[in-house]
């Protein structure tokens, strides 16, 4: 019997394989918004983990999955946020300039996420640009969430449609 495909595990694996210039790792978190904010807040309490929160790829649950047969799963991932710290006093257009948060961190993470997703053995489709979704650039003006004092710029990926193979591919 095959191990069940758990989409959050696939997405975590995708993020772990991401390589973005200037960042040794990308932090992954999944859950409801309140749980993601709680985990980020907990990292603030640890001297060793505080600086490892960003760049962040956060998958907001739930994920809708539909099954046509025993081999494929069509999923709609309602929200993925790619985020990095920002200075809210920096003008928005400067954040899009060379060296700004969007051009140096967020866009490279966005394209690398799609590239690694297309390369995953359980994902049907090898073209990173073929995944249907809506993308929103979201420059920060307020802290990211209740109890979290981080000002972040982000790219939100909404309603990402992905077809997964249920059989494990090596």
User: Considering the domain boundaries, does residue 131 fall inside one?
Assistant: yes
Per-residue pLDDT at 47: 73
Count of C-beta atoms within a 10 Å radius of residue 117 = 21
- The number of domains in the chain is 1
Q: Can you give 52-113 as a three-state secondary structure string? A: HCCCEEEEEEEEEEEECCCCEEEEEEEEEEEEEECCCCCCHHHHHCCCCHHHHHHHHHHHHH
pLDDT in tens, 6-47: 999 999 999 999 999 999 999 999 999 999 988 988 888 877
**Residue 170 forms part of a structural domain:** no
Of residues 139 and 167, the one with the higher pLDDT is 139
Contact 160, 77 (CB under 8 A): yes
Task: Tell whether 2 is covered by a domain.
Answer: no
Q: What is the pLDDT of residues 120-148, one digit of tens each?
A: 999 999 999 999 999 999 998 666 666 66
Residue 55 within a domain: yes
């Amino acid at each position: 019997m095959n191990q069940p495909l758990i989409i959050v595990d696939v997405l975590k694996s995708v993020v772990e394989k991401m390589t973005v210039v200037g960042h040794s790792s990308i932090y992954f978190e999944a859950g409801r918004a309140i749980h993601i904010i709680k985990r980020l807040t907990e990292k603030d309490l640890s001297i060793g983990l505080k600086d490892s929160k960003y760049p962040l790829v956060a998958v907001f649950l739930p994920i809708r999955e539909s099954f046509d047969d025993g081999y494929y799963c069509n999923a709609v991932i309602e929200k993925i946020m790619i985020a990095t710290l920002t200075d809210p006093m920096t003008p928005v257009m400067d954040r899009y300039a060379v060296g700004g948060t969007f051009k140096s961190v967020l866009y490279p993470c966005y394209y690398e996420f799609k590239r690694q997703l297309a390369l995953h053995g359980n994902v049907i489709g090898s073209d990173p640009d073929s995944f249907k979704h809506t993308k929103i650039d979201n420059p920060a003006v307020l802290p990211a969430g209740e109890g979290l004092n981080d000002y972040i710029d982000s790219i939100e990926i909404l309603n990402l449609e992905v077809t997964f193979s249920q059989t494990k591919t090596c």
